[in-house]
Amino acid sequence: MHWNDLERHFSPARLGRYHQACHRNDSLAAEAYAHNLRLSEAMLPMLNVLEIALRNGIHLKLTQFYGRADWWEAWIGDPAFNWQNKEVSSAKDKLARRKEKQTPDKVVAELTFGFWSSLFNKSFQTLLWKELRLVFPRCPKPQRQRHTVSAALNQIRDLRNRVFHHEPLLWLTPSLIDQHALALGTIGWLDPNLPTWLAGYDRIPPTWLTWDGWCKSNGIK
């Protein structure tokens, strides 16, 4: 497609970052945008594994802690969980609109990554951290601190949102490949076998190398 057609469909504002980085060369900018699409696609297996394994790990520990699979019901009326209670209500509403049963498993699946990462906020240091640290049994003790886990999850959440909102991934700081490594490390905290299994489906390393080589050959940073 011609550059003008791409701008018409994707908007000059969205494509401007690519155009500027590619010395205002229409052809190179279009190629860079295609590289971004490939990287976004390649991120999905890692994000899938992390989000599902994380939420299931949290669900297991909080089910054991509260003695009930719908552990969020124990938070009703507690102001410390005002935001989380709203998120649970929103998840239930979505299930109701789809006429699906509000089983614990379905509510868990409907809750957002932001919900799960919020449980590691400073405000829950006393309330939840003692239980939630057990979600990461293979995290080295010096790193198994609430603030360390929270920082990692928040960075990954921001990256996830960029991927799902189709934002540029090519010029992030830290770089996409470094953030990918952080996410893999976090998955390893859950279970060291998971990154090994994921390696068979994770195309970020070769996709990033292709992008990096393309940049060098075209003088693009």
pLDDT digits (tens, 9 = 90+) for 116-138: 999 999 999 999 999 999 999 99
CA-based nearest residue to 198, from 53, 84, 24, 23: 53
pLDDT, average across residues 4-22: 96
Residue range 84-111, pLDDT digits in tens? 999 999 999 999 999 999 999 999 999 9
pLDDT band at 31 (very low <50, low <70, confident <90, very high): very high
Residue 97 lies in a domain: yes
d(CA 175, CA 162): 13
pLDDT at 176 over 80: yes
| Number of domains observed in the structure of the chain | 1
Q: Which amino acid is at 56?
A: N
Ordered DSSP codes for 146-207: HHHHHHHHHHHHHHHHHHHTT---TT-SS-HHHHHHHHHHHHHHH-THHHHHHTTT--HHHH
pLDDT, average across residues 48-65: 98
| Predicted pLDDT at 221 | 77
Residue 218 lies in a domain: no
Ordered DSSP codes for 7-70: HHHH-HHHHHHHHHHTTT-HHHHHHHHHHHHHHHHHHHHHHHHHHHHHHHHHHHHHHHHHTSTT
Residue range 180-218, pLDDT digits in tens? 999 999 999 999 999 999 999 999 999 999 999 999 999
Structure tokens at 195: 């990154």
pLDDT, average across residues 72-90: 98
Residue range 139-171, pLDDT digits in tens? 999 999 999 999 999 999 999 999 999 999 999
Structure tokens at 140: 């080295």
Residue 98 lies in a domain: yes
Residue 208 lies in a domain: no
For residue 67, what are the domain limits? 43-202
Residue 110 lies in a domain: yes
Residue 11 lies in a domain: no
pLDDT band at 1 (very low <50, low <70, confident <90, very high): confident
Could you tell me the pTM of the whole model?
0.95
Residue 150 lies in a domain: yes
Residue 38 lies in a domain: no
